[in-house]
Amino acid sequence: MAAKRAIPDQEIETEEAHYHVGGREGGLLLMKHSHAWRPPTDVTADDDRLIVVVEIGGMKDGEIQVSLSNQRLTISGMRPAPSETYAAYHQLEVRYGDFRTDVFVPWPVNSDDIAARYEDGFLRVELPRAKPPRVRVVDVDKR
């Protein structure tokens, strides 16, 4: 009978996820755990813009960051946990702590006209389509 080698549990940190590697009978188990939770996100489009709506209730000014880089819209922040403590918790579904959602933007946008508004627990980000570059026709002098 072959001896089984015990593998100590170890954690590997990455930028976007937390991996936990643990020894199990007969092999390894690799599970991906994200430290940041992903809020419900709707992405719609019309002829003029991409519209992203994110449900993140209970936020205050300065707790949400919106950035656009390389056709990726990133919405992130931190929703602080309530400070109350209770003797028993019967159901916990509301997420607290760091959150992040990424949306691929399928076309160039006019970054000067991006609008973001937070109201009634919903963040709405509108990304207007960039106008296609105009083709300039140059007259050629005849000599």
Distance in angstroms (rounded) separating the CA atoms of residues 131 and 126: 15
- In this prediction, residue 13 carries a pLDDT of 36
pTM score, whole prediction: 0.69
pLDDT tens per residue across span 101-138 = 999 999 999 999 999 999 999 999 999 999 888 888 88
Do 79 and 54 belong together in one domain?
Answer: yes
Task: Check whether residue 30 and residue 45 sit in a common domain.
Answer: no
**51 in a structural domain:** yes
- Which runs of consecutive H residues, i.e. helices, occur in the chain? none
Tokens linked to 1: 């009978």
Total of domains in the chain? 2
Whole-angstrom distance, CA of residue 57 vs CA of residue 120: 7
CATH of the domain at 66: 2.60.40.790
- The answer to whether residue 133 is domain-embedded is no
| Domain limits for position 116 | 41-128
- Statement to judge: residues 28 and 45 lie in one domain: no
Rounded to an integer, what distance in angstroms lies between the CA atom of residue 115 and that of residue 6?
54
Same domain assignment for residues 75 and 28: no
In a domain, 140, yes or no: no
Cβ atoms 39, 56 nearer than 8 A: yes
Query: 92 and 75 in one domain?
Result: yes
Q: What's the pLDDT tens digit per position in 27-58?
A: 444 444 558 999 999 999 999 999 999 999 99
Same domain, 19 and 45: no
Would you place residue 25 in the very low, low, confident or very high pLDDT band (cuts 50, 70, 90)?
A: low
Q: Are 22 and 86 in a shared domain?
A: no
* Stronger pLDDT, 90 or 143, i.e. the higher one: 90
One domain, residues 18 and 66? no
